Structure 1
Amino acid sequence: MRYSLTTKITIIFAIGFIVICTLFFMFFKLQNERILGKIGENHYNSINWLLSLYQKSNMPEDWERYFRNFDLAYVKNVNLQKAIFDNGTIVSRADTLIGTVDTISYKNNLYLRIKNQSVTILLESTLHSGNDSLLFSFIIVMALFISLYVSIFRSLIPLKKLRSDIRKFAAGNMDSVCVVNFTKGNDEISEVAYEFNNAACKIKDLILSRQLFLRTIMHELKTPIGKGRIVSEMIEDETQKERLIAIFERLNILINEFAKIEQLLSKSYSLDYAKYHFSLILDQAKDMMLLDDFDSNVKVELICDPLLKVDFQLFSLAIKNLIDNALKYSDDKKAIIKCDNNAIYIRNHGKPLNRSIEHYKQAFIRDNNAKTSGMGLGLYIIEHICSMHKFSLDYNYIDGFHEFCIKFGSVNSEKS
């Protein structure tokens, strides 16, 4: 069972609180027992000394002063006397020459009663229990204990905010994470939060500068492409005209693809989900490739035409890149596309890879073999797009064929 840090600290302090209360309770009890023992001893000594004086016929003249020597005093409150006589418990009783001597317990205190035919005396102890100082110490300790608990919890507040900021930072929401005038605290957690804020602000600035640089380049490239597209319309030779138009359209599509890839890698792309048949997605990928001989080089086997909930442009880009890779790295420059209700399969004939497929899925990985030199960033982007759609990208090498499989399952699709 997992517990949060605040829960663990609360449990520790709760145990400490119980231990402190138990210890002080034991101290109170021991202190009270010690005082009661001392009072009982004073009762015993006062009576014994009074009996010896009685036997010597030398009774004290000032009885109040006599009992004061044993830390005893008369109970003068009539109501208290009545309450003690009515509700008190007789602890011990002795018949002596001066009368009946009782030790009475009432409200955790001991009283001495001397009763004979002529008089009844009720005495109480004047000893201080010492519980007041003990109670004061208990209050001081508990105040320090609670203030320490509150102080630790206040120190954990930046940690909770830091956890929230890290989640926002991971989700790409840097505007709410980066605080310009961040106040630096005195404890270690506040210092960590302060350093994280500085790092987040620097990363935000780097990402913004990179995005500005790339977008500026792509914007500047669109201008000559647009001018070239206009100039190509003025060419009288239809064959050359169509070739130039196709080239400039291809460049324009590449610029748009680069913009999407830049957004994808910078975590700033928001998926626009909608339901599309795979055949429509494949047509879009085919248009993006601008291949005149697509049907002769790519064999399509649609066992069914599933209805997929995807971002149309982004998922079409992934299919286009997979087909492009299959044609580019195939020994016979042909590819096979197969689709059923659970997955999309793209196959091509070729030699086995020199390394595991995980190596080629990494970003900016280049192989020394010219056949596979372009499989680094492309596969990284394809797998990233599949991951954003909650699809899985698997690879198998079967009977001389490379096979990439995008599994979406029947849950994420509907039969046509």
Structure 2
Amino acid sequence: MRKHAVLLTVLFALIVTLVTVTAVFWEFYKLNKQQYINNIFTKYSVITQIYREHKQRESSEIMFEANLAVYKFRIEKDINEQKLILSRGDILKQEGFKKETVFLNKKELYFSRKVENLRATMLEYSYSIFFYIQSPHGHILIEDEELRPYRPWNILYSYTTIMAIISILFILILQRLRPLIRLRRKIAQYGDGDMNISFKTDGKDEIALIATELENTRIKINTIMESRTLFLRNVMHELKTPIAKGTIATQMLKSQKQIDRFSSIFGRLESLVGEFALIEEVTCINDKSDFKEYRLVDIIDGAIDMAMVDKDCVSVEIPGSKKVFANYRLYTTAAKNMIDNGIKYSTDKHVKVVIKNNELCFESKGECIRHPLKYYIEPFTKDNPSKNSFGLGLYLVDSILKAHDEVLAHEYDDGINRFIFA
């Protein structure tokens, strides 16, 4: 979801817009249709007037039909057709009312009124408009040959045009977002280790400007990384030669005390160069082509051999089926450092390696560490400066675990320090 947040936001905006426009046009359609029906329904007054005069004067049917024909009205006389229209026609509007007929008495000078109960119904059937007039004297079904039912062609045309414009705008926005999607993929490839990927793109819009800046940044980062790698490798290479010469020259000293002292110094320098080389390898790891699936017990056995400690100092309680996807040499080095630390700082010189909650744990007896774990994973930090250590052990472990998408955690429980590969 988060990877397509912009696309989903645009899509949501499109849906909201379409729904809103549709709702507005639907309400406008209903209002316009009702207004049209109300306007044409007023023609019933002409029909009732002609019908009233016909009944009052008792004129002939021919005269009645002729008067109706003047206003484009036609009487539907077919009984079967009447039943069909009344049963299947859509009632558009219906109104019941009283009609007052006023006439002059010939014998006396006063007005008299006669009230008739009428009901007018307007129907739509087969693309025609019919008026059905009912009164105590009878009923009549009349077709209006001039009127036509409401058809929302203008509204439909406007609605279709607006929807087409919105859809075209959405497609144009997607076209604008395509370079951004490609750019995201290239950034992901660069993060996975493809250092030669190019961010260049055509165009002069904001996305093209961002791509250009990313390309310039990529070139600078690659240059810095190449210079850093070259510098570290040259330094380590240049340091190994004087260390080797110093180690050989140490054996020519006459005093055993001086030989032991200088051997210790050069040994520590050689160990420091080795740790620097390993750190440089971990921090510069670009891909996981060397990562494979290994049994965890094999990695722990390799770590014990690498640490060169007595196997009685390490208890291993790991199922043989437990596996890990890792770079064997780096992961083994991380486990070796944890075993070294456990033995070095425990009260009984013993480390227990177990699986708890599906996580690799290194347990040792002793006092709880004095500082939060983040203090110890910084380079060159340690509690006891007198210990034979450079303070790079946990920093190296943390770096290796990060390369394996894991983290180093710590907990203290009932006199037990527990370091966890989570």
TM-score under structure 2 length normalisation: 0.59
Structure-2 separation of matches of 1:179 and 1:213: 22
Checking the alignment, whether the CA contact within 8 Å between 2:331 and 2:400 is kept in structure 1 is yes
Aligned partners of 1:83 and 1:365: how far apart in 2?
A: 105
State the distance in 1 between where 2:279 and 2:163 align: 60
8 Å CA contact 2:379–2:392 kept in 1: the answer is: yes
TM-fit CA distance, 1:318: 1.7
| Distance in 2 between residues matched to 1:377 and 1:245, nearest whole Å | 18
1:319 aligns with 2:335: yes
Residue in 1 that maps onto 2:203: 183
Give yes or no for the alignment of 1:379 onto 2:394: yes
**Structure 1 counterpart of 2:362, one-letter code:** Y
Q: 1:107 aligns with which of 94, 108, 126?
A: 126
Is it true that 1:301 corresponds to 2:311 in the alignment?
Answer: no
Q: How does 1:233-312 map to 2 (within 5 A)?
A: 250=271, 253-254=274-275, 256-264=277-285, 268=287, 270=289, 272-275=291-294, 276-286=298-308, 300-304=313-317, 308-309=323-324, 310-312=326-328
1:12 corresponds to 2:12? no
Structure 2 residue aligned with 1:138, among 156, 160, 165? Answer: 156
- State the alpha-carbon separation in 1 of the partners of residues 172 and 335 from structure 2: 52
Aligned to 2:410: 395
Percent identity over the alignment is: 14
Query: 1:285 touches 1:316 (CA, 8 Å); kept in 2?
Result: no
Cα distance change on mapping 1:110 and 1:316 into 2, 3 Å: closer
Provide the C-alpha distance between the structure 2 equivalents of 1:390 and 1:350, rounded to a whole number of angstroms.
29
Letter of the 2:283 partner, please give it: E
How far apart are residue 213 of structure 1 and its match? 1.4
- Return closer, same or farther for 1:380/1:39 CA change in 2, 3 Å cut-off: farther
Q: Give 1:209 deviation, angstroms.
A: 2.3
Q: Could you tell me how far 1:216 is from its partner in structure 2? A: 0.9
Q: What does residue 224 of structure 1 align with?
A: 238
Native 8 Å contact 1:337 1:344 kept in 2: no
Q: Residue 39 in 1 paired to residue 43 in 2?
A: yes
Instruction: Tell me the C-alpha RMSD between the 2 structures.
Output: 5.7
Match of 1:22 among 15, 22, 26: 26
Q: Secondary structure at the match of 1:88?
A: helix
Q: Name structure 2 gaps, 5 residues minimum.
A: 95-120, 133-140, 254-258
Take 1:123 and 1:89, find their aligned partners in 2: how far apart are those partners?
Answer: 12
**Residue 356 (str. 1) matches residue 372 (str. 2):** yes
| 1:340-371 residue CA offsets vs partner (Å, 9 max, x unmatched) | 35544264866852x4224444x569699968
Question: Does the 8 Å contact 2:300/2:332 carry over to 1?
Answer: no
Letter in 1 for 2:155: S
Instruction: Give the Cα separation in 2 of the matches to 1:377 and 1:40.
Output: 100
Give the superposition deviation at 1:159: 5.6
How far the C-alpha of 1:35 sits from its partner, in A, is 4.4
